[in-house]
Amino acid sequence: MTQHTTPQRLMTGAEIFVRSLIEENVEIVFGYPGGAVIGIYDALHDISDIKHILTRHEQGAVHAAEGYAKATGKPGIALVTSGPGATNTVTGIADAYLDSIPLIVFTGQVSLKLIGNDAFQEADIVGITRPITKHNYLVRDVNELASTIKEAFYVATTGRPGPVLVDLPKDVMASKTQFSYPQTVKMRSYQPHAEGHQKQLTKAIELIAKAKRPVLYVGGGTILSNASEELKKFAHKTCIPVTTTLHGLGSFPENDELSLGMLGMHGTWYSNTAVHYSDLLIAVGARFDDRVTGNTETFAPEAKKIHIDIDPSNISKNVKVDVPIVGDVKKILQQLLPSVTTLETKDWLQTIKNWKEEHPLRYKNGKYIRMQHVIRKISEITNGNAVIVSDVGQHQMWTAQFFKYILPRTHLTSGGLGTMGFSLPAAMGAAFGRKDLPVVSLSGDGGIQMNIQELATIREHNVPVKIIILNNGYLGMVRQWQQLFWRKRYSHVEMSSPDFVKLADAYDIPGFRATLTNEVDDVLEKVFSTTGPVLAEFRVVKEDNVYPMIPAGQSYNEIMDVPEKELEGLENESTEELELMTVTKG
């Protein structure tokens, strides 16, 4: 007797796309529809497995996907149309590339036969993004769609994570074939290496055993590798103090006695000093960025250097190291842990303790609000149990200094690219991914206005983001540099703003404002007791500077600590001028 099998239904590329995302356990997609992806949006219409969030701008969609990825460790997904929809994603893709964020951006494209003909809403997004993606694809055959999506997820999330772009021509999405999703990926040209080479591990263990003044210099790769527990065990077993980069914040609890806080241009005085005088520097998932090293010729001059990193191209790229170990941070720390011993660092730790007492982070409170005070209060209220998403500028550095991070994936910011407008959409994305902690967006008056349209998305979905605007009426970091290095020629950095509280009301979001230091506690109490989204503006002193500061390209011995005159000089600075600069007074 002959058995007959029912042939599998042919699916369009759009249907295959959606099914592929379901196979990858995608929970949420941030996107914006258009003509080139209308078939995909039609296929999404009846799907309950995936939540689609309609952002108000494609840049907002990518930053939201970044925030989701950073906060959860899962890949972030963005879906946009062709032409301007695709080009609007470029800043977010570049941001994710420099910060090693797993992201898959799907862009619509005109039909294959129209590519290169200057068709309506055509842009060569594959060519445009080639330098800022880990890899990108133009899908030319519907039969290759499922395997391409599988590869895209694999490339984005393995090795050193990063953004991958998949360009989807409209006619390919309309074509039909049978759906078959691959279970594994084999790429001859891409084989990330996880475990460290035994010979290099042995060399590292020998150097560690001899060290008298060691420092662990920890970067964002430690968080990306989910290696925080291994890092804590390693630091406590060896008694080695820990300093972190901007992206490394949260990888090691800052309430631990071994914590030195952040190092680099605006790092703590004592962390930079400890690195300068160390005899062994163990770089863990860090890349010796110029904001950390300053002058590379004089960076940690007495130290032997061990460098642990998943990306071999990072090794000795900026600073020559003595022992390179290529592999996954978590795996390598697990390999090292059984063989390292407790070091005699008692005198070294006492010296560092003395430095901490002599050169603490400090500011002076007065009648008028300082950003540092607001950030420290948020840290105290949350006890470090919050996801903090800072924008870019002075407040970003003060957030890194004065919020005490105790958990991984709770400090989100734009580091490598320094993208203003990052915080609000990224905080929204983080809040979709993290229900266990409050999510706080911290922005200056400049950065908040770059993606402020996402207030509509936040309101529509009742996303419980606590939106903090620190308003000094300046592009503060640029003004600081103009003051310190450009003879106080304040060129085009003073800016007016709308009434942010009234603007919040227009979006049906509760809004509050504080203009004096004694109002800060009351406003923050309202912020954290309000259910759902809430916005608070703090009118802060206009001309305040971030210290410590190592000027760009200079060395530790040129570090600028807080001048005493600045501690005194801000006492009487009024916010009346800032009030006059507001377009519509509250």
Quick one: 483 exposed, middle or buried, by C-beta within 10 A (0-12, 13-18, 19+)? middle
Angle among Cα 347, 262, 282 to the nearest 5 degrees reads 60
Full 3-state SS string of 75-144? CEEEEECCCHHHHCCHHHHHHHHHCCCCEEEEEEECCHHHCCCCCCCCCCHHHHHHHHCCEEEECCCHHH
Give the separation between CA 304 and CA 282, rounded to whole angstroms: 8
Strand order in the sheet with 511-514: 411-412, 387-390, 439-444, 465-471, 534-539, 511-514
Residue pointed to by tokens 């010729």 = 297
For residue 98, the one-letter residue type is: L
**Cross-strand pairs, 497:** 582
The helix or strand, by DSSP H or E, that contains position 563, with its residue range, turns out to be none
Give the separation between CA 475 and CA 447, rounded to whole angstroms: 9
User: Which residues carry out catalysis?
Assistant: 58, 120-121, 170, 477
- Chain centroid to CA 161: 13
Give the separation between CA 394 and CA 418, rounded to whole angstroms: 12
Give the separation between CA 479 and CA 494, rounded to whole angstroms: 8
Residue pointed to by tokens 């395997």 = 147
Give the separation between CA 341 and CA 239, rounded to whole angstroms: 9
Q: Please state, as a whole number, how many other Cβ atoms lie within 10 Å of the Cβ of residue 190.
A: 14
